[in-house]
């Protein structure tokens, strides 16, 4: 332990990051900035080639940042997992999706642990960052790593520190967000804390991996339940002729006891649509039910259908059906001002519209082409330019993601019908389009 602790303190430790996506790449940035030598690992050769060429594939990490890493001589990227032996600390940032039955799918975590075990050496620190249910680190990852013949807490060190990313929020980079850290032993936690302390704003040590895992789940369950509440109120208030957005703006003037959450067309991103179901699955295994979590999931999961219903009603008022109507979906990223499409409700909306026979297009300044998605079957499409002629030709524009880089004045002046799920048109002073909030 002392040898690794000294290497960490002296910034001589080599940090390896497995999984170079929206979590892993910003994490590399934090450790590069802290002065550590880093190795990035990924099985996607396109990512490897892009980084080796100094090109970023994540908008908030510019190409110049990648080139600085390469020029600094402390960064390399590879698909050769045998090089894991070179790393003193290995951070696991791989996906943890849900299965088709909404059960945790840990195949990427398990496969990564099996790969690490092949070259695991005494004195290394392994940290799982992927969001998962409590007990995963101790009951799933640890036994796989110990197939190497080494024992956690004695021969190597094992900890859990949940990823915390807020893409698109310039105020919170990976370096500026406190990190929760729990270890399988006290010594494991101390080493992980020492490592992260060099690279992030603050480290929050907790008593076990399970506490750290549960804290991450709590963060996302809290958001899921509150978003479900405001989504449900949106439907009720709409029926009553009350603008839910105005209600929220009024309520948030209270300086205590209230935090604003906002409605939308459904949940997106890798965290909120997925992580709460990890906890409800674990509860079922223990003979319990998590009614708040499951109800929130049902409410949020139903929001795309509500939006489509509102769109159908709006078209009906114009004596039009969805079938044959030209509909442009505005925004396919899961949140504003990011290029991350994971679990975006826009894909569900697009599937519904295509199934109903709409002539579908989309515009998104952050997503120039629709990516292939695991759970959605959509045709190849490219983002369309918003011009007066294009907008005037649409029977409806459906705002699903309210990017700031969209000219909403142009949309409001040239579209005939706008179905707005994000209150984006409230920033337009005098739109001539008919606007329906959904």
At residue 330, what are phi and psi to the nearest 5 degrees?
-95, 105
d(CA 384, CA 399): 14
Enter the tokens of residue 48: 């490897």
Q: Are 281 and 102 in contact, with CB atoms under 8 Å apart? A: yes
The C-alpha R_g of the chain, in whole angstroms, comes to 23
- Annotated catalytic residues are 271
d(CA 187, CA 153): 7
CA atoms 101, 302, 21, 32: torsion sign: negative
d(CA 218, CA 215): 5
Backbone dihedral region for residue 53 (phi beyond 0: left; psi -120 to 50: alpha; all else: beta): alpha
Helix (H, G, I), strand (E, B) or coil at 18: strand
d(CA 122, CA 151): 9
Other residues' Cβ atoms within 10 Å of the Cβ of residue 329: 25
d(CA 360, CA 334): 19
The torsion angle over the Cα atoms of residues 182, 184, 186 and 190, rounded to 10 degrees, is -50
Enter the tokens of residue 426: 């409230």
């Amino acid at each position: 332990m002392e040898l690794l602790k000294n290497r960490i303190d002296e910034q001589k430790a080599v940090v390896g990051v497995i999984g170079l996506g929206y979590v892993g790449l910003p994490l590399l940035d934090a450790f590069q900035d802290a002065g550590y030598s880093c190795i990035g690992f990924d099985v996607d050769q396109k990512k490897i080639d892009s980084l080796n060429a100094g090109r970023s594939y994540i908008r908030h990490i510019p190409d110049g940042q990648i080139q600085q890493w390469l020029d600094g001589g402390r960064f390399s990227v590879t698909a050769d997992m045998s090089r894991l032996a070179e790393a003193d600390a290995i951070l696991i940032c791989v996906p943890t999706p849900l299965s088709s039955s909404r059960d945790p799918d840990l195949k990427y975590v398990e496969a990564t642990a099996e790969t690490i075990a092949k070259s695991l050496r005494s004195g290394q620190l392994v940290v799982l960052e992927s969001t998962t249910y409590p007990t995963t680190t101790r009951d799933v990852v640890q036994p796989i790593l110990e197939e190497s013949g080494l024992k956690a807490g004695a021969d190597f060190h094992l900890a859990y520190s949940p990823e915390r990313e807020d893409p698109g929020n310039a105020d919170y980079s990976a370096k500026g967000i406190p990190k929760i850290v729990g270890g399988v032993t006290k010594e494991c936690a101390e080493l992980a804390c020492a490592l992260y302390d060099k690279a992030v704003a603050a480290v929050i040590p907790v008593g076990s991996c399970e506490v750290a895992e549960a804290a991450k789940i709590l963060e996302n369950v809290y958001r899921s339940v509150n978003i479900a509440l405001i989504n449900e109120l949106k439907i009720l208030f709409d029926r009553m002729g009350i603008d839910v957005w105005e209600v929220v703006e009024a309520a948030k003037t209270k300086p205590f006891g209230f935090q604003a959450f906002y409605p939308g067309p459904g949940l997106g991103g890798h965290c909120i649509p997925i992580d709460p179901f990890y906890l409800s699955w674990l509860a079922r295994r223990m003979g319990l039910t998590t009614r708040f979590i499951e109800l929130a999931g049902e409410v949020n999961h139903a929001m795309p259908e509500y939006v489509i219903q509102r769109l159908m009603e709006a078209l009906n008022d114009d004596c039009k059906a969805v079938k044959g109507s030209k509909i442009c979906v505005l925004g396919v990223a899961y949140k504003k001002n990011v290029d991350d499409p994971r679990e975006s409700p826009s894909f569900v909306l697009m599937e519904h519209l295509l199934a109903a026979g709409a002539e579908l297009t989309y515009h998104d300044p952050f997503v120039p082409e629709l990516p292939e998605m695991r759970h959605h079957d959509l045709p190849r499409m490219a983002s369309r330019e918003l011009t007066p002629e294009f907008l005037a030709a649409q029977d409806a524009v459906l705002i699903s993601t309210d990017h700031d880089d969209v000219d909403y004045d142009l949309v409001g002046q040239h579209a005939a019908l706008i179905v707005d799920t994000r209150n984006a048109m409230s920033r337009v002073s005098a739109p001539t389009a008919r606007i329906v909030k959904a």
